[in-house]
Structures are given as C-alpha cells and as structure tokens.
Structure 1
Amino acid sequence: MPRPIVWRGAGLGNEIFPWAKAYIASRELGFRLVRPAWGLNRRNYRQEFGTSRLDFLQHAALRLAMPVVTVTDELVESTGETDYGAAMRVLDAEHGWSRRHSIILLHQGMAGGHLAIERARGYLRNTLLGRLPERGCPDDHGPDRGQLRVAVHIRLGDFSQDSTGPQPGVFNTRLPLSWYSSVLAALRERHADSLHIDLVSDDPVQATRMLSEWRMCDARSRSILEDLSIMATADLLICSVSTFSMLAAFLSDAPYLWYRPHLHEHGGFLSIWGYKPQQMTGGTGDSLRKEQRIGGASLPTRGVAVDADGELPSWLTDFLTMKAALNRRSGDLVRCGVVPHHSPVPIID
C-alpha cells in the first residue's frame, strides 16, 4: 500500500508543513500516513509526542523497501494550484501515483504557506492542541471579574538582534523589546482590570527578565505543545516574526498582532508574503483583489498590523472589552452564572 512519509528535523513551525502536506495527500490519494520521525529532531520533539528515539528506523526501512518520489515545491508550483490537495490531484492524474502497487511520497517544502495546508488545520488542531498546563497562575484575576488572556511570543534563541527589527522579507530576527513594551502598555491603559499576560518563549527565563513588569507567573519551563496550546487558546496573540507564532495564529481563531515594519506594502494593504512576485499571482494577490472588491480597508481583520509606537485600532480595544465581559463566569449559565431578564445594550467606554 502506498505510504506518504515525512522526514524533517527543524522547528515545529516548519515541521508542520511537510507533515500537513503528507496528511492531505493521504486523504486525497488514499495513502497511509506515516508521522514524522521525531527521533531525528535535534529539539527532542520525540519527548513531546511520546515516540521512540529510534522511530526513524521505520522510515529508513520503508525507503529501502519501496521506491521514493519526492514531491518538491517546484513540482507543486508547476500545477498552478495553491491548495495542496488540488495540487496532489493534478500530479496524481499526471504520474499515476495512486495506481501504483507500492510507492513512498516524500513531502517537503513550504510552498503556498498556511493557505496551502488549510485542509489539514482540523487535523493539526486535534493533534497538537489540548496541552494546557493543569496548574493555574496564582496571580490570575478572579474569574468573576472577567479576564482577558493575552499570549506574548518572544522568540530569542539564534534569532539575530536588530534595533529596528525585521524589515519586509526578513526573518530570523528578534522584534525590538520596545515594541512589546509599547503594545502591552497600550493594553494596560484600556484593560488593566482584566489583563492577564502569558509570556511564551524558547528562553522563558530571559524573556521574563526582559519584560519583568509583565511577568504574571514565575518563570517556568513548559513543553512546546503547552506553549502552543496557551497561544492558540488566548484571547489575543502578540506574535514574533517566526513560524511558531504563525502556527499558533493559524490554529487559533483569536485576533493577533504583527509587527508593522515587517509587512510589505502594496495597493494600500499590507502582507507578510507580498514581497514575493509569485505571491502576487497566487494567494496574496487573490486576497488583495478580494479585499479591494469588498472594501476591506474599512473592515476589522484577524491579523492586526501594529507600528513601533504600539497604538492599537479602536475597534480592537472595543472587541477586547467585549471579550473580557464574555469571559466572566458569573454571567455564564453553565457555570452557575446568571443572565439579565432582558438583553442588555452593550456599553463600550
């Protein structure tokens, strides 16, 4: 039976692309999915997923036993399809992979970004989330007061430092600490009574030292899946320019903030990937034309561009005020709460 297989060794934000692509291919072509060989990953993800250190031997045995076809970015892009499932159908019609008795499809690359793997979002949510820490934070606000949970991702590690932060098309660069401070100060000014901050970082000790004023809990070591679950379930995400932040935003339904100077300008709109010429004939270009058609410049957006001064749009602060009110348990019927006899008129002050 055909077996899609994944073989990677990068960070989780990168790992999910070939994994998700293999999942989509398995659904489209009727192949069996073989999960990543986490034993090869230098970040010890095997401990996160509970797999053996030698799980890569199964992959190696399969590669010796059956012919391997590597599905490259170039091969996928040649189909003209952004959706990975649609691309697989085109390639399968051309190469007849699903009609072969035995074959391994090796998936790689990040072509199409998260838009290409949209069909795998539910699978990734079911697989990666649900790891929230069982112990709460002693500094949490009382639940009856309502609580606005904000997850702040500070990517440190081997990311380079630049006083201006990453510019359009530049990655693997830290965001200025002043940007985080400005954004958090703006949130505190409006939501101080309900604000709870979770600092998420690959170096939590250094991150809490850098933003000690915002440390709501003692610095503690968490697994990467706990960090991902915290971010994906927050009411607001403050992202770094990293694939891990992108993954959290992809799996979340909440609004998220992005560093404005990193975004590419075109046609009165901003994007992460618009600096790539092929994107303007693909996903980014399609989105730009749609937003122009529906008058998107005057509508709220999930991704919010925030400049170095940390100023937040008024619609977002109004939304967060409403979200904090909805979070209070005393107004939640299934938590022994009560609701007014008549529907209240929302007041945003």
Structure 2
Amino acid sequence: MEFAVLSVYPRFSKLDFIFFRLLGPGLGNLLFPWARAKIFAMKNNCTFITPTWPQFKVGPIIRNEPDKRFYTGMFRPGVSEVGGFVKCKRIVIDRKIPESSIGKARAGDMIVFEGLGDYFMDLIGYSSFLKSEFKKILISSNNIDSLMDKLNPRKSIAVHVRFGDFKVPTVSDLDNEVRNIRIPIEWYVAIVNQLNTHYSGQVKFNVFSDASDFELSPLLSLDNVSRALGGNAAEDILLISEHACLIASASTFSMWGAFLGQMPSIWYKGLKQQSLNDNSQWEIEVGMSDQIAPIFIENIKYE
C-alpha cells in the first residue's frame, strides 16, 4: 500500500492525554520513538502527529533535581506537523496500528511508535537529519545561540555527569557492567586530568549534570572546568553535540549527544551500550586507571 496515506504518532506514555502525560521516561528515552517516527514519515511522506512532550513526574521533585523533566514550554510542532485540535481529532478517530504491524495498515490508519526499539540501530545514518529536525521544534532557539557564544563548544570538551535516579554503584556493579548506575566522580576527574595535562591547560571543560554543585565539587574544583548553566534538557543535548569531544555518562542522554554530534567520545569501560559514531575509532572505553590512547586524542578536532 501507499504509506503516504498514513499518519505516524510517537506515543511517549500509556497515560497520554493528548495535551499532557503522566509518568514516562526521561528525554533521552523519549527521543527514540520520536526519531523512528520522524525517519518513517520522511521516507514515506506520511503525516507526522506531534507527540505529547509535557509530562508530570513526582520522582524529580522528591529528589529535588534541578530539571523536573516536565518538558513544558520547550517544544512546538514542526512546520509540517499536526498538533492542536486536529491532533486531538486524529488520535480519537483514527485506527491505531503498532509499529510492529505496519504491514497490516490501511489508508487513514495511524502508526504508533513506542519504546526504545533497537536504540540507535534503527537510526544509523540519520544523525544529521534528526539533529536538524530536533532544532526545528525547539522553542528557545535564541537561548541556544546565546549559550553557544558563552560556552564556545567547538573549542571545548563536554562532560556529562548523570546522577538523578541512577544508583550509587558498588565495586561489583562496575565490574559486572550494570546499567543505570552513577559513574564515580573520580573517573571523570581522572579523565579530565589526563586531557588537561595533554593540552597544557589550554582546553575548557563544560560540565552538564543533574547533580548538585556539592556532588560535583571534586570535578568543578579542577582547572579549566566549569558548569554549563542556563539550558533545559533539550538544549543541553544539542549543546553537548556541538562540542569537540564528550566525556560521557552511561545514560541515553549522553548517547544522544554523541550520536547527534558524531564527535569523539569517552565512556566508562564496559558501559558503552552501542556504537554511535560512523567512525568507531572515535569512541573509546576507559577504565578507572587506564590511560587514554594518544591516537584518540589526535582525533579530537578544535575549530
């Protein structure tokens, strides 16, 4: 059949009330169904129904995280996307077909994209397209430009530290490559110290994190290291992607920054889940006491 007669909808939560949602994952995980739907709509000329970005979650409030992950006032429908009343009507009326059953779709059906899928395996080759589409739906493009001028990312290294609801790891967790754990702050310190030494203190490090200044103090006390402030979650992903290099956490948030940026990235040994860069030599895993290979550092290009 002609897929052009279909619409596609990235559904972020079962409790989706069209204009807001209850519960649901963080932005890094939300971007997977959004991206798959975007690619399918582009390849098949389908109508794209804008997703429900705003959500309410209690966890970030209880943990007193800086980013409450409500995602309100951050996104707008793209130029060719359907939102508002028409979105409401289509969601209520159209027959919905899961992504896994696209072959059963009929004219007028809505294909629903949900979940993580195969992470980035479905998205390889589309990083530039997705980055462009993501920029188009951000409300605060002026703020991005201001932060770009302030951070000078193309001459800096991004450091992403994810704490939030990730658990404090035991030695066993680290040895057994357990997911959703906090990378020890000592690892970030060791990596930054190595790079600081190599560049003789001539490179700046911008720290993006949901942790408190106190939790980050061993890192923020280093020379040439400062916290990147002023951006929301969506802006931070884009800002990370503009850096010359990324020292990553074990989160999908870091993965999106690395994927959209296609720049060299450094991961804790055993916790890089997938290859994200078109050039695998630009992605390395480094243990707590490992040295960064000189050939990798040579791949970091500063504009």
TM category, shorter: 0.7 to 0.9
Compute the TM-score of the two structures, normalised by the length of structure 2: 0.74
Q: Deviations over 1:83-122 (max 9, x none)?
A: xxxxxxxx53xx2x2xx33111101122322121235423
* CA deviation map 1:273-308 (0-9, x unaligned): 5xxxxxxxxx99xxxxxxxxxxxxxx9711111111
Q: Which amino acid aligns with 1:225?
A: A
Tell me the distance in 2 between the aligned counterparts of 1:56 and 1:10.
23
Equivalents in 2 of 1:36, 1:205: separation in Å?
A: 34
Q: Secondary structure at the match of 1:211?
A: helix
TM-score by length of 1: 0.65
* TM-fit CA distance, 1:204: 5.5
Q: Following the alignment from structure 2 to structure 1, what is the Cα–Cα distance between the partners of residues 7 and 50? A: 10
Q: Residue 159 of structure 1 aligns with which residue? A: 166
Mark the CA change 1:180 to 1:217 in structure 2 (over 3 Å): closer, same or farther: closer
Instruction: Name 2:242's counterpart in structure 1.
Output: 233
When residues 252 and 167 of structure 1 are mapped into structure 2, their CA distance, relative to the original with a 3 A threshold, is: farther
Residue 330 of structure 1 aligns with which residue? none
The residue aligned with 1:209 is 217
Higher helix share: 1
Question: Is 2:268 the partner of 1:259?
Answer: yes
- Closer/same/farther in 2, CA of residues 193 and 148 from structure 1, 3 Å limit: farther
Deviations 1:124-161 (A, max 9, x none): 211334763515559x8xxxxxx841100000111100
Say if 1:37 and 1:56, in contact at 8 Å, map to a contact too.
Answer: no
| Structure 2 residue matching 1:199: 3-state secondary structure | strand
Matched to 2:42, the amino acid is: R
Task: Please name the residue that 1:45 is paired with.
Answer: 71
Residue 223 of structure 1: which of 225, 228, 232 is its match? 232
Relative distance call for 1:41 and 1:23 in structure 2 (3 A) is farther
Tell whether 2:193 aligns with 1:185: yes
5 Å matches for 1:46-65? 46-50=72-76, 59-65=87-93
- Mapped contact 1:39–1:56 kept (Cα < 8 A): no
Q: Decide which of 299, 304, 308 is 2:284's aligned counterpart.
A: 304
The code of the aligned residue for 1:250 comes to F
Q: 1:223/1:206 Cα in 2 relative to 1: closer, same or farther (>3 Å)?
A: farther
Kept after mapping to 1: 8 A contact 2:206/2:227:
no
The match for 1:287 is none
Structure with greater Cα Rg = 1
Paired residues, what number?
Answer: 260
Q: Percent identity?
A: 21
Q: Give the 3 Å change call, closer, same or farther, for CA 188–46 of structure 1 in structure 2.
A: same
Corresponding position of 1:122 = 128
Gaps of 5+ in 1: 76-90, 141-146, 264-271, 274-282, 285-298, 328-349
Name the CA shift for 1:123/1:34 in 2 (closer, same or farther; >3 Å): farther
Residues 145-192 of structure 1 deviation map (CA, whole Å, 9 limit, x = unaligned)? xx8411000001111001435455632110011111111111111113
Letter in 1 for 2:198: R
2:37 counterpart (8, 22, 35): 22
Return the alpha-carbon distance in structure 2 between the equivalents of residues 36 and 158 of structure 1. Answer: 25
- 1:169, 1:104 → 2: CA distance? 39
Amino acid at match of 1:33: F
Distance 1:157 1:210 in 2: 18
